[in-house]
Each structure stands twice: as C-alpha cells, then as structure tokens.
Structure 1
Amino acid sequence: MSGSNSSSPGYGSDARTGEAATPEPLNFAVHSLPSPVLPRAQARHGRLKMLLVLLVCAAPVIASYVTYYLIRPQGGTNHGVLIQPQQPFPDLGALPLTDLQGASVAPAALKGQWLLVTVAGGACDALCERQLYLQRQLREALGKNRSRVDRVWLIDDKAAVRPELLPALQGALVLRAPREALAGWLQAAPGQSLAAHFHVVDPLGNYMMRFPAPSDASAIKHDLEKLLRASANWDPAGR
C-alpha cells in the first residue's frame, strides 16, 4: 500500500542503495526482580512457630534429662539406698511364693505396681508390728498416689499369722517365701536383717531400693514421692 511501511521491524532496504538492510538483533533486557520483603510481624510469627516445633521435638529429651539428673533418686542425696545393679524378680522356681492358703503365686503377678515390702516371721514380733503399721501409714500419706503402691508382707517362715493382725492387713499382699530364697534376692545392710528394712520394688519387677533402719517415716515418704513423680509419665495407677 502506498505511503505505508509494511516491513517488519528490523528489516527493509537501505534508502540510498536499495539493498536489503541487515536485520538488527533483538535485545532482551533482564531486570532484577524485587526481593520479597515479609512484614516484620509475619516474620516474627514464622520464627515463633519454628521455635515451638523445635521445642516440641526436643521436649522428650529434655524431660528425660530432667528426670534422670534432677528427680531420680541418687545414692547419697536421699534417705533410701539404691540397689546397684537392680535385681529383677526371680522366677517361681527361685522364689516360690504362696498365699496364706498355700496356693502358688508367680512373682511376675506382682508386677505393675510399686511395692513397699517388709519381711518378718508369721509370729510378728514388736519390730514387725511397727513396720506393718508404718507401712500402712506411709501408703496412706501418699494421698492420690497411694493407688500406685502396694503393701507387701513376705513371711519368711511357716509360723501362723496371729489373728489379731489380720484386720490391719486388709488391702495388703501377705505371701510366704523361704528365707534362703529371699536372701538371694533382697539385700540387707551389713550386720542387719532383711526385717530391719523396707524394700522397694518398681512396677517392672526390679528390686531397686531399701530404706535403712531404724525407719524414718518422713524421709521414706519424701523418697517415695520423688519416685512416684519421676515415674508418673509411664506408670499409670492400678495393675
């Protein structure tokens, strides 16, 4: 069409020579894009969420260290003496337990609870009576946690239990075990008998602590409370 330029940009002829002009290369200029800038409040919120996620992930590790180093009873700082290494429940052959009617009881049946154990003959002398009374009082003093602790009296002879003791034994586990079998599992302090101590067995069936004689009720209660706090996350009440 006359008067119009139908050539594509960058092409055409030289007006003076009539020769075709050399095509001009196309240039693409790339400009830097603006960096996204988050509002301060949004950035702060994101960092806070990341910190919370990290804390949640690390919480079990932190809790285990706190429990082990600060809550778990350590020999020398508590009244009770830790048994090292802990002594697991022997099997029925090594620790033949029977109830007062003579029926066999498997030691494994006692697992699932903290056990506060005393040892004495069936005749139950003055020391035995004191230990049984204190054992009951200690459990009651634990308040809402008392359902996590069982009282156990292990009778190490064949003597009959005096009838007047039976009312005080309501709720306790009263079992017979040979003295030599108990001596192979429980440990007394040098120069003392098993009957002089309270013995503690954990819910997994490990004999792990004894309390020195004579018994100090307030110190024993303090140690039991620490044990129950330290195990609260894995030891539910009841068997």
Structure 2
Amino acid sequence: MDAQRRKRLQLIAIMLVFLAPMVVAFGLRLSGWQPNRLRNNGTLVQPPQDISTDTPRAAVDAAFGWKDTQYRWTLVLLAGPGCAAACQRRLADAEKIWSLMTQKATRLRLAVVGVEATPELRQKFPRLEFVQSSAAPLLALTPAGADTVAAVVIDPAGLLMLRYEPGYDPAGVRQDLSRLIR
C-alpha cells in the first residue's frame, strides 16, 4: 500500500469517527426514541388549559386561587367519591413529595379537590389545602371510582400542565416536579 492511499484511508476513518454518532442520533430521532431521563412521568395536557378564572373555595385560606402571585406550582389531588384508606395514602404521599423537595418545597403547594375538610384530616395533613372547585378541566379528570385519586400539576399562571391517572407513581410525580421547579 502506497503512502497516498494510506492517508486517504486515514482521512476516511477520521470522518467516519465524527459522522457515525450524528448518523446514529439522526436515526434515533427519526424513530421517535428519547432517553428515559427526558420523559415526563405524567401526561402532558395539550394544549394547556387555563383554569385561573375559576375561584376555588378553600377550607382555610380565603385568598386561595389557581393563579399564584408568589410563583408557586400546585400539585392538585383529585379524589373520587369516598376517600378511604387508599385515598388517604395518596394524601400522605403528596406530603411526602413536598418534604422530599427540600429547598424547592417553598415553591410547591398542595391542594385536594373532592375531599371534605374535616378537622381530623386537616390535622393529619397540615400541608394540604382542601379546596372545592368547579373548573371543568378538573372535573373532567376527577376519577369516577371510589377511593381513587388522580393528580394534576398547575403552573403559577393557572395553567393545567400535567395529569396523572389513578394509580400513578408518587416517585414519578416528584421527579417531574423537581424538573419543573427550578
């Protein structure tokens, strides 16, 4: 093999080293693959629905609104009829999510729709706001099954962004919230 041919092969090999990752990335992009780290655990609401005009009635905080002036995200638990043991576990999971957010916890508030604010529940779950809301998007996502809970994430502007079906994974909700709240 002469020197000129060897140099051409080296040049082609160098080009392949740099072009191969781009070709692979382009092929993965065309196939629709995304790394798990970039996927939401919840379902993105398309288009985001504005519920800021709804005036929810909170059991304790009279100034509660979906649009938050302190720029806090809201995790809303939508309870089906009859909040029993499974429902209360989800309420406890929400408080655990809040505590696991550490420094970001001040930028997250928790609300529950569809559960009566009894003194026992308010004492048991002090971080939860028990709210009554007539917002159509929230009512549409409320589960029909007894003792079930769905969840939604509302941004500080009052837009419904993510939804989680009953039986969602609380760790996935925490992961999504930690990506959203910076």
TM-score, length basis structure 1 = 0.51
Q: Find the counterpart in structure 2 of residue 200 from structure 1.
A: 153
Matches within 5 A, 1:85-234: 85-91=47-53, 95-100=54-59, 106-108=65-67, 112-120=71-79, 124-155=83-114, 160-177=116-133, 181-182=134-135, 184-186=136-138, 187-188=140-141, 192-193=143-144, 196-228=149-181, 232=182
Residues 147 and 101 (structure 1), Cα distance of their counterparts in 2 relative to 1, 3 Å cut: closer
Higher relative contact order (CA 8 A, sep 6+): 2
> What one-letter code is carried by the residue in structure 1 that aligns with 2:180?
L
Report the CA distance between 1:188 and its aligned residue. Answer: 2.8
Matches within 5 A, 1:72-91: 77-91=39-53
> What one-letter code is carried by the residue in structure 2 that aligns with 1:87?
Q
CA distance in 1, matches of 2:125, 2:100: 17
State whether residues 122 and 161 of structure 1, in contact with CA within 8 Å, keep that contact through their aligned partners in structure 2: no
* Unpaired stretches in structure 1, ≥5 consecutive residues: 1-69, 233-239
State whether residues 155 and 176 of structure 1, in contact with CA within 8 Å, keep that contact through their aligned partners in structure 2: yes
CA distance in 2, matches of 1:213, 1:121: 9
Report the CA distance between 1:185 and its aligned residue. Answer: 1.7
Question: Which of structures 1 and 2 has the bigger CA Rg?
Answer: 1
Report the CA distance between 1:162 and its aligned residue. Answer: 3.5
> What one-letter code is carried by the residue in structure 1 that aligns with 2:41?
H
* Structure 1 or 2: more strand by fraction: 2
* Unpaired stretches in structure 2, ≥5 consecutive residues: 1-33
User: Secondary structure at the residue paired with 1:112?
Assistant: coil
CA distance in 2, matches of 1:171, 1:102: 12
User: Secondary structure at the residue paired with 2:163?
Assistant: strand
How many residue pairs get matched?
144
User: Secondary structure at the residue paired with 1:144?
Assistant: helix
Superimposed CA distance per residue, residues 90-143 of structure 1 (whole angstroms, 9 cap, x where no aligned partner): 42xxx3422227958554457721001012369632232122111000111111
CA distance in 1, matches of 2:63, 2:51: 15
> What one-letter code is carried by the residue in structure 1 that aligns with 2:132?
R
Report the CA distance between 1:84 and its aligned residue. Answer: 0.4
TM-score, length basis structure 2 = 0.65
